[in-house]
Chain A
C-alpha cells in the first residue's frame, strides 16, 4: 500500500481532530486551524484524485484490522476523490468569502464554535463520500445534521431557532426512515458493508425472494435521503434554513450539506441496490416526477418572493429538482449530468450567497429588492459576482450552469421517449422562469439611482473576502470553459463506482 492510499483516511481524521483541538482555542486560532485543515484536505484530495486517475480503478481501505465482511472500510475511486476535491474547495472559498461577516455577525465567544461546526461538517461530508459501510453512513448523516443545525442557529436569534427546529424535525424523520431501511437490508442480507450486501441482494433478486421488502428498502432510502436533501414536497425547511443564517453558512448548507446526502443516495443506488434494479423498480420514475415538480415549483416560489436571500434559497429547491430529474432519467448519462450538477450547483450557489451578503451590507443590511436598488454600483465586486452567478444559473455559455443544462438535455435523449419530451419541456420552462427572476434581480441591483446612492457606504469587503469571491467566480468560469476533464473523470469514476 502506497502512502497516497492512506490520504482519504487522513482527511477524515484530520478534520475531526481539528474540531476537537479547536475547543480550547480562541476564535482566531480556531479559524486558522480550520483554514489550514481545509487547505490540507484539498491538497491531499488532489493527490488522491491524481493517484486514482492514474490507476483507473478503485481500492478499499480497511479501517482497523478486520477484513470484510466484518470490519469497517472506506472505498476510494476517481468519483469520490473528485467530490472530495470540489467539496473542500467550495468550503474553503465560501469561508474565505464570508469571513468578515462571521466576524461581525457572531459574538466573539461563539466564533470558535462556528469553526468547530465547520470542521465537523467537513469530516462528516468526507466520511459520507468515502464510506463503504451503511451504518457508518447513518452515523455520519446524523453528525452532518447536528452540525448543520448548529450552523443554522449560530446567530442566536428567534428566527434562526425556528428555522433550526424545522430543519431538525424534517431531518430526523428522514434519518429514521433511512435507519429502518438499513435494518431491513441487514435483516435480509446479513451485511452492513455495501459491496457484500450488493452480492447478497443480487442472489435474493435472482431467486425472486423478498420482493416486497426490497421494494420497501428502495423507497425508504429514497424518501429518507430525499427529505434530507430537500426534494420538492419535503422542501419546506429550505427557505428558512438558508435565508437567515450567516452568509458562509448559507453557502455551505446549500452547496454542500444537501449534496452529501445526494451523493450517498447515488452511491447506495450503485453500490448496494444495483442501479439497473432500481430503474426496473419504477422508483426512479417517482424521483423523475418529483424532480420536475421541484424544478418548476421552486422557480415559481422564487419569483413570488421579495427577499433576495429567500429567492436564492427557493432556487436551490429548483436545482435539487434538476439533480433528481437527472437521476430519475434512469440512464448513466442522466446520473453523470446529476453528478456534474452537484458540483456545478455548489459553485454557483455559494457564489450567489456570498455575493448577496456583499450586496446587502452596502444596502443597510437589508435584503429586500427595494433596498437593493443600485447595490451593484455600491459594491462593484459583489455586483459582478452576483451577475456571474445569476448568468450561470440561467445557463449562459462559458459558465458552469450552461454545461449542466446541456448535459441534462443531452442525457434526456438517452432516456425513454416520454421522459425525454417531459424533461425537455421542463428544462425549457424552468430556464424561462430562472431567467425571469435572476435577470429581474440583476436589473434591480443595477437599477439607476441618484449619484449619492452610488457611493459605497457601510462595510467594504476585506481583501480575504475578495479572494474568496474572485475564487468562486474563477471556479464558475473554469468549470464552464474546461468542463471536459471533470465530465470524463465523472464518467470513469461512475464506471467503477458500483
Chain B
C-alpha cells in the first residue's frame, strides 16, 4: 500500500493539492483566497494529467534527431491537453477576478460573509 503511494508520488501530490485547492475554493470567505484556491485546484489536475503523459527516460516529442520510433519519446497528448486546460483555467480565473472587482466596487469589501450581510440589509 505504502509502496504504491511512493511509486505514484505525483498522483499523491496532485490529490493532496486538489483537496487543498477545493477546500479553499469552497470554504474561504475572502474572494481573492477563493481564486487562489481555484488556481491550486486546477494546477493539481494539470500536474496529474502531465505526470500521466511522462514515460520514464523518454525524450521530448520533437522530431529532430531522425528517430521515428514512438517509444523513444514521451506521450505528447497529455501535454497538449494541459495547454488547452491552462487556457480554459486562465479565462475562468480572469472571469472570477472581474467578478471580485465588481463585488468590491459594490460593497467595498472582499469578505463574502460581509457581502452577504450587506445584501441581507439591502433587502430588508
Contacts and interface: CB of A to CB of B under 8 A. Distances in A.
B95 A186 contact: no
Contacts of A426: none
B92 A159 contact: no
A183 B52 contact: yes
Nearest to A166: B112
Contacts of B77: 186, 192
Contact of B116 (A145, A162, A176, A180): A162
Contact of B95 (A146, A173, A176, A187): A146
Contacts of A268: none
Contact of A139 (B26, B88, B107, B112): B88
B78 A186 contact: yes
Given A135-B81, A146-B91, A161-B102, A169 B107 contact: no
B48 A180 contact: yes
A158 B119 contact: yes
A192 B48 CA distance: 16
A169 to B, nearest CB: 6
Given A139-B84, A186-B78, A165 B103 contact: yes
A193 to B, nearest CB: 12
Interface in A126-140: 135, 138-139
A176 B42 contact: yes
A39 B21 CA distance: 43
Contacts of A146: 91-92, 95
Contacts of A176: 18, 22, 41-42, 45
Interface string B105-118: 01100001001101
B26 A169 contact: yes
B45 A169 contact: no
Given A158-B107, A173-B26, A153 B18 contact: no
Given A142-B88, A176-B22, A183 B106 contact: no
Interface in A151-176: 153, 156, 158-159, 161-162, 164-165, 168-169, 172-173, 176
A37 interface: no
B61 to A, nearest CB: 14
A303 interface: no
A173 B48 CA distance: 16
A187 B107 CA distance: 46
Interface string A180-194: 100100110000100
Contact of A173 (B25, B31, B85, B118): B25
Given A161-B103, A162-B103, A179-B85, A172 B38 contact: yes
A173 B22 contact: yes
B99 A153 contact: yes
B118 to A, nearest CB: 8
A149 B88 CA distance: 15
Nearest to A165: B99
Contacts of B95: 146, 149, 168
A124 to B, nearest CB: 12
B96 A161 contact: no
A329 to B, nearest CB: 31
A161 B99 contact: yes
B99 A164 contact: yes
Interface string B45-71: 100110010000000000000000000
A172 B39 CA distance: 11
Contact of B96 (A135, A168, A180): A168
Contacts of A159: 119, 122
Nearest to A187: B52
Interface string A245-283: 000000000000000000000000000000000000000
Contacts of A192: 77
A36 to B, nearest CB: 28
Contacts of A168: 92, 95-96, 99
Q: Which of B31, B48, B102, B112 has the most CB of A within 10 A?
A: B102
B121 to A, nearest CB: 11
Contact of A172 (B25, B49, B119): B25
Contacts of A158: 103, 106-107, 115, 118-119, 122
B78 A156 contact: no
Contacts of B26: 169, 173
Contacts of B107: 158
A316 B7 CA distance: 46
By Cβ-Cβ distance, the 6 closest A-B pairs, closest first, are A158-B106, A142-B88, A187-B52, A183-B49, A161-B103, A161-B102
12 contacts: A135-B84, A142-B92, A146-B91, A158-B118, A158-B119, A165-B99, A173-B26, A176-B22, A179-B45, A179-B49, A186-B78, A187-B52
Interface of A: 135, 138-139, 142, 145-146, 149, 153, 156, 158-159, 161-162, 164-165, 168-169, 172-173, 176, 179-180, 183, 186-187, 192
Given A142-B91, A145-B92, A158-B106, 8 more contacts: A158-B119, A159-B119, A165-B31, A169-B25, A169-B34, A172-B92, A173-B22, A176-B22
